Structure 1
């Protein structure tokens, strides 16, 4: 499969994982969902190791662990931002920053997409801002939540960059390192704050499903990043909120705003432009 196809599939699965994660957090404690879902993801990546073998070098594990710390901090800061401010403010800033950081890194590293592909990148940035925004998003815009959202987005963007920097022959070992680090980080946070890591009854299946889908998306991202430019792969992957919105619309019956519908349209346009480049 091409990098574009892998990244697009990754976005769809990431969005589905977020949908299941959202259902899980409605039924159980957030930190319990994060820890247990990531354990489920670890089981999947270990099961896939024989089919996607690689060299277990120190570089593979260290880059992976660094990405896991960045992603884990991104998650913690994201939830902290949600506690401080409105979702309609925090989510679009986080999502846009998570896309912009790898794009800037790719440009500085010498990646030069075509004009058509760059048009898709710009449209993708617009799409992420639109699909992540809820009505009334400009209200309650204060410095604290904004800075927290920027830091959270930088953490997520760092996750993508650090995985890209892992050795090309590492196979799935960077994801093993990433998961070890992120599980340890979130578990330590749960212990420090005396939060239970046991999901509520009835939430196990959806929690594990979220973790397995999240890891499947991580695998697809790693494969895509090994085959294509970080700029284009990250932009396509960052369109995942569109699939989350569509699942919420057709499974839960939630209504989408005109802004979010426009964002979904921009996302489809961004995919088409990057694929055609």
Structure 2
């Protein structure tokens, strides 16, 4: 039962992460990257506070330490990710990031001895293939994507992968305290960076509602991920969560008019098949 619950939570988490990234990408078109990152992180911190008593857990040094380590990795990853979104195409940046954020936890999980059932492992392979396919550039852009956003996407994917791995290490009775520690650490990192380069954290005109939506959805997705990874294998949960670009792609397609090519569409189909395989194992 725990395995099925983990699959369900991870799948919903992927949808929420993808929607959060869509709103974050919109915000970076109207505001400076550090302003978007700072305000989304603060929004997430405010959002998690009332969850501490609602989803109670034991406050201990291990929970905060692992959470803060995850927050440092995640905070730097978010900065790189939003910079990539600001300078690149959303339907390329999000899946490229996901490729790395999926591969790192899968390799780590297998290295530490996690062994999914053969059918579930087949779903993992299918999911990784799906992430690669949806990472293909859309056909309507003309020319190759800029190199800098792709490199930033890959680096941010490593950071998000580390975030997933580090949150897996927290004690299971910690409740939401690890996410409090994670978000507190990321707020401090972004604030120090903004002060050091004297960057403004004032949002562009009309961007604040979009930024708040991105921050709330991102923290909600973090909550779903933590609940999922406490109930299932890292190899399975992380790869399902990393299918989030499918929802980003669909939103970019129907809201922004970004074109989805046949390969990307096939990737979305493979993603659905991967979820079905893992869920049936």
TM over 0.5: yes
What SS class does the counterpart of residue 36 from structure 1 fall into? helix
Match of 2:131 in 1: 128
Count of aligned residue pairs for this structure pair: 276
Report whether the alignment pairs 1:4 with 2:7.
Answer: yes
Q: CA deviation at 1:210?
A: 0.6
Which residue, out of 216, 222, 228, partners 2:226?
222
Alignment of 1:155-234 (within 5 A): 155-234=159-238
Q: Name the residue aligned to 1:64.
A: 67
- The equivalent of 1:25 in structure 2 is 28
* Whole-angstrom distance in 2 between the partners of 1:140 and 1:254: 14
**SS of residue paired to 1:197:** coil
Instruction: Give the Cα separation in 2 of the matches to 1:59 and 1:134.
Output: 41
Partner residue, 1:39: 42
Q: Give the TM-score normalised by the residue count of structure 1.
A: 0.91
Q: Secondary structure at the match of 1:227?
A: coil
Distance 2:217 2:74 in 1: 16
Shift, 1:172, TM fit: 0.3
Give the Cα–Cα distance (whole angstroms) in 2 for the partners of residues 89 and 20 of structure 1. 15
Greater CA deviation, 131-140 or 78-87? 78-87
Question: Which structure 1 segments of 5+ residues have no match?
Answer: none
Which structure 2 residue ranges, 5 or more long, are not aligned? Answer: none
Question: How far apart are residue 150 of structure 1 and its match?
Answer: 4.1
User: RMSD in angstroms over aligned alpha carbons?
Assistant: 2.4
Contact 1:91–1:133, Cα closer than 8 Å, also in 2: no
Q: 1:266 aligns to what SS in structure 2?
A: helix
- Verify: 1:267 aligned to 2:271, yes or no: yes
Q: What secondary structure is seen at the aligned counterpart in 1 of 2:29?
A: helix
Please give the per-residue CA displacement for 1:145-196, whole angstroms capped at 9, x wherever unaligned. Answer: 7765543322110000000101110000000000011111112111122210
